[in-house]
Structure 1
Amino acid sequence: MDRAKIILIGGVPGVGKTSISGYVASRLGINIVLSGDYLREFLRAYSFEDNDPLKYSVYDSWKDFGPMNEDNIIRGYLKQGNLLWKGLHRVISRAIDNGESMIIELLYFLPQFIRDFSSKDLLPLYLYLSDEKLHANRLNEREEFTHYNSPGSRLVSHLFEYRVIMTYTLRNLKDAGIIAYDNLDYHRTRDEILDKVGDFTGHIPDR
């Protein structure tokens, strides 16, 4: 790779972004995989105000805005996302300046910030699941494969909130022209994304 290539893989919990990010990184020799969850956790260390939006998990972020409904879920999500992207914007810019390629997998997939970067430097891809029952099953399976100490049952109890965020994001992606993958078949989606990222980086792996 002659210049830094940043691959942004977005999606709510349970859609497969951690598994696919790791697979693509290993196949293409990308040594840095950054999780948005850990960036959020880092920022929490500097959150001192009672009204700081990062004090909540994303599924509870509506609590600053009143009762739980779809509008307040999105308001909470955007408030957290706007704060997180202040840090993420710097991370991506630094990686590009340093010539370091990386994959970033994250929940807060906001096209208004993604557009700040050239399509030559950053490839945004979004994962979703149209099948709600399959989504619940994937959340329950996470602790068997990638998130060993994160009980899926806790996340399944917030499936409604996650799918509200997912639906909102998909609407915005259409306007931004960002590719979204319905990850009903993990292996097919994985291979499609590997091909897409391979084209972007100029490194086409052998099958």
Structure 2
Amino acid sequence: MFTVRTKKYKLPFSRGSLARSLTRAGIEIVEAYHIAEEIRDVLEKKKTEEILSEELMEITYILLNDKGYKKEAKNYLVWRKFRELGKPIIILIGGGTGVGKSAISSDLGYRLGIRSIIGTDTVREVMRKIISEGLLPTLHTSSFKAYSTVESPSPYINKTIYAFETQVKYVSVGVEAVISRAIQEGFNLVINGIHLVHGYINIRKENSKIFHFVLYLKDNEEHINRFYARSYGTSRNAESYIKEFKRILDIQDFIVNKAREYDVPLIENNSLEKSLNFIMDHITGELAKEV
């Protein structure tokens, strides 16, 4: 067993930690573990009890290049150097109901080694315990059913969108508090949820790097199939979503249009892997500008 020394501390070498740093760079998970094993073998042959983190970084970079992973080697350096800046990364995954926000967030968190993943539905649930239904009725129902709790101020205003906006405004207060706490504590965070609509969240970017993505689906049949798929093994009733599908699409259109208005990256989430790769490439490209 040997340790890795940084400027501030030293830790036991971890194949898992190294593998995760390689997945951030774009290496597939299985291959990342194989490479991490190779690097561990190289270090064991050195018969040293301690290695500097800079030396480990150099060994990893050279090995990636030798294996033909030129792009991934550069990405690896970007992530390592950004980490040294000590800024937290906060990733917001927005989009309509049933487009795959939770699945993307879970896999993204795993690839990036981010343990803190929270949904805006959780934020809303906490707020429900604090604010009574009589005071804020839109907070106490689903986003696509909130229309049933309000009266539209005008017959020309879409009642579904009006109610959804009302809900978003209140949930955004809780989301902002979560983001502020993450920045204050300096930890990385992934937030996902339908309430992450740009223009309603006051995002403070000092001492952090915040990314916002919006997922959507064009294919209505695929969208409906996902309601059935995600209902398996849960208490979610697919039919209750399909019954309100027109309203779900109205809300999706609203979110997508807001994303276009604020130049938020839009991802048609037909493929989990392609969506993840797009997000990873985008984040890495932006981080490269910082280091």
Q: TM-score, normalised by structure 2?
A: 0.63
Deviates more, 1:160-169 or 1:40-49: 40-49
| Pair 134,49 (structure 1): closer, same or farther in 2 beyond 3 Å | closer
- Contact 2:92–2:192 (Cα < 8 Å) also in 1: yes
Give the match for residue 60 of structure 1.
Answer: 145
Match of 1:154 among 213, 236, 240: 240
Match of 1:98 among 173, 185, 209: 185
| Pair 96,36 (structure 1): closer, same or farther in 2 beyond 3 Å | same
Give the match for residue 52 of structure 2.
Answer: none
Q: Which amino acid aligns with 1:142?
A: R
Give the match for residue 75 of structure 1.
Answer: 162
| Pair 153,72 (structure 1): closer, same or farther in 2 beyond 3 Å | same
Correspondence 1:23-172 to 2 at 5 A: 23-52=107-136, 53-63=138-148, 64-65=150-151, 71-114=158-201, 116-118=203-205, 121-144=209-232, 148-172=234-258
For structure 1, the residue ranges without an aligned partner over 5 or more in a row are 203-207
- Secondary structure of 2:130's partner? coil
What is the alpha-carbon root mean square deviation over aligned residues?
2.3
Q: Which amino acid aligns with 1:131?
A: D
CA distance in 2, matches of 1:108, 1:182: 18
Aligned length: 200
Give the match for residue 13 of structure 1.
Answer: 97
CA distance in 2, matches of 1:68, 1:163: 20
CA distance in 1, matches of 2:286, 2:100: 21
- Contact 1:62–1:76 (Cα < 8 Å) also in 2: yes
- Contact 1:20–1:190 (Cα < 8 Å) also in 2: yes
Shift of 1:194: 3.0
- Secondary structure of 2:158's partner? helix
Q: Report % sequence identity.
A: 23
Deviates more, 1:63-72 or 1:53-62: 63-72
Shift of 1:92: 0.3
| Pair 73,134 (structure 1): closer, same or farther in 2 beyond 3 Å | same
- Secondary structure of 1:34's partner? strand
Q: Deviations over 1:27-69 (max 9, x none)?
A: 1100100011111111111122525121222112112125999
- Contact 2:172–2:196 (Cα < 8 Å) also in 1: no
- Contact 1:183–1:189 (Cα < 8 Å) also in 2: yes
Q: Which amino acid aligns with 1:150?
A: R
For structure 2, the residue ranges without an aligned partner over 5 or more in a row are 1-82
Shift of 1:93: 0.9
Q: Which amino acid aligns with 1:99?
A: G
| Pair 163,138 (structure 1): closer, same or farther in 2 beyond 3 Å | same
Q: Deviations over 1:109-141 (max 9, x none)?
A: 221134533295210000000111111111111
Higher relative contact order (CA 8 A, sep 6+): 1
- Contact 1:65–1:75 (Cα < 8 Å) also in 2: no
CA distance in 2, matches of 1:24, 1:49: 34
CA distance in 1, matches of 2:91, 2:249: 23
